Amino acid sequence: MNNFKNNKLFTLGVEEEYMICDPHTGDLIDKADIIFKSINDEYKDRFSYELLLSEIEGNTSICDSPNEVIKEILFLRNYLKDIGSKNNFKIGISGTHPTANPDKQNFVENKSYKWVRNQLQYYASQNITFSTHVHVAIDCPDLAIKICNILRCWISPLLALSCNSPFFNSFNTGMQSSRTFQFGIFPRTNIAHEISDMNEYMHILNELTNNKSIDKPQHVWWKIRPHIGFGTIEFRICDIQRSISRTKMIVAISQALVHRIYTDLKLKDVKSNYNMEFLNDALWNSARKGMDANIINPINETNISMKDMIYLMLDYIHPSLEYFGTTDIETTVESILCGKTEANMQIDVYNDLGFDGLKNFLIDEVEYK
């Protein structure tokens, strides 16, 4: 567990998963291998394969602030843009590709993803999904577990703010985040139960490994998990965003939540034994209806609108946003509450221009500055 003890508190790392698209049609194309052959050696560790050859992941280094994260994300996006201009592709951004056929996907051929394909069989090809993962560093493994337990009550408002995948396999799914359901086909992608300490978490990992249910700890894909390799708390909730300001919002909220809970735990006990039915129901309603959802607040078990739950979250983390100097993201949150999620924007474009227009929108409206 030394990876936790060696960390600088509340530092950040972010992963973005990009679609690799035909620059004219917006359809997915298999160019992950070409991309890796084009990346300079000094940047090889900043990019990763995903399950499909039509997807590429960009990874920031360890950053001190959301602004530093955004600077690196802009570099990653622009670096891929430059490679694409020479190799006839563009990156696209959406939580799911709107028209890609799961039966026509080609897989990355390495040991890790072969294991995943063998486990998932037919359903592996359904994972045409793209997300933003945020890591926040913690200096104590048992405290990381406690924070993960408490964070579960804020999963649904984080998802609602980031919904960006209403279409899948040429269908309007009726969901604001179909990615949540498509990736949910995978095992161990659920909200975890309350865990007592790091010893219990390691027991879970060891038993799953002994049973050959997982091949490595990263195969536990919970919505929020402790990452023992990095010594972080990893948020695996949000659909990827085209907007840079919305990406910063996700990063800043994640950091502020961890900071606020960490601070509270130093002073008092914090409720973490939430009813699992209410947590799962809130997740479902958030993915289904986004901003229009009503949920049962897991903290006090009363009915609340999603917008009011988001305001509660903002009130809770405001002191931490002030601490980090990131209160500017409150304006971004307000713009979504009073306006549209990126999922809503996709639906509007589809209604006006159909799938061809939507696919072009998803590659042409990626923000690079």
pLDDT tens sequence across 74-97: 999 999 999 999 999 999 999 999
3-state secondary structure of 162: helix
pTM: 0.97
Q: What percent of the chain has pLDDT over 70?
A: 99
- How far is 192 from 210, CA to CA, in rounded Å? 20
Q: How far is CA 68 from the centre of its chain?
A: 18
CATH code linked to domain 2-364: 3.30.590.20
Q: Please say whether the beta carbons of 208 and 308 come within 8 A.
A: no
pLDDT band at 113 (very low <50, low <70, confident <90, very high): confident
Asked whether the predicted pLDDT for residue 326 surpasses 60, the reply is: yes
Q: Which tokens go with 258?
A: 């961890």
pLDDT band at 2 (very low <50, low <70, confident <90, very high): low
Task: State the average pLDDT over residues 276-295.
Answer: 98
Task: State the average pLDDT over residues 321-325.
Answer: 98
Helix ranges (DSSP H) in 276-341: 276-289, 306-324, 329-337
pLDDT band at 116 (very low <50, low <70, confident <90, very high): confident
For the chain, give every domain's residue range.
2-364
Q: Which tokens go with 186?
A: 């995978």
Write the CB contacts of 11 (distance below 8 Å, at least 6 apart in sequence): 62, 63, 64, 136, 137
| Residue 115: predicted pLDDT | 87
pLDDT band at 1 (very low <50, low <70, confident <90, very high): low
Asked whether the predicted pLDDT for residue 358 surpasses 60, the reply is: yes
Distances (CA, A) of 243 to 70, 195, 237, 345: 11, 35, 17, 12
Rounded to a whole number of angstroms, the distance between the first and last alpha carbons of the chain is: 38
How many Cα atoms within 13 Å fall on the side-chain side of residue 199? 1
Asked whether the predicted pLDDT for residue 7 surpasses 90, the reply is: no
Asked whether the predicted pLDDT for residue 46 surpasses 90, the reply is: yes
Per-residue model confidence as pLDDT tens digits over 220-243? 999 999 999 999 999 999 999 999
Write the CB contacts of 76 (distance below 8 Å, at least 6 apart in sequence): 16, 46, 47, 58, 59, 60
| Residue 88: predicted pLDDT | 98
| Residue 185: predicted pLDDT | 85
Mean of the per-residue pLDDT values of the chain: 96
Task: State the average pLDDT over residues 301-309.
Answer: 98
In 3D, which of 321, 351, 345, 368 has the Cα closest to residue 95? 345
Asked whether the predicted pLDDT for residue 352 surpasses 60, the reply is: yes
Q: Please say whether the beta carbons of 343 and 290 come within 8 A.
A: yes
| Residue 112: predicted pLDDT | 82
Q: Please say whether the beta carbons of 116 and 262 come within 8 A.
A: no
- How far is 44 from 36, CA to CA, in rounded Å? 7
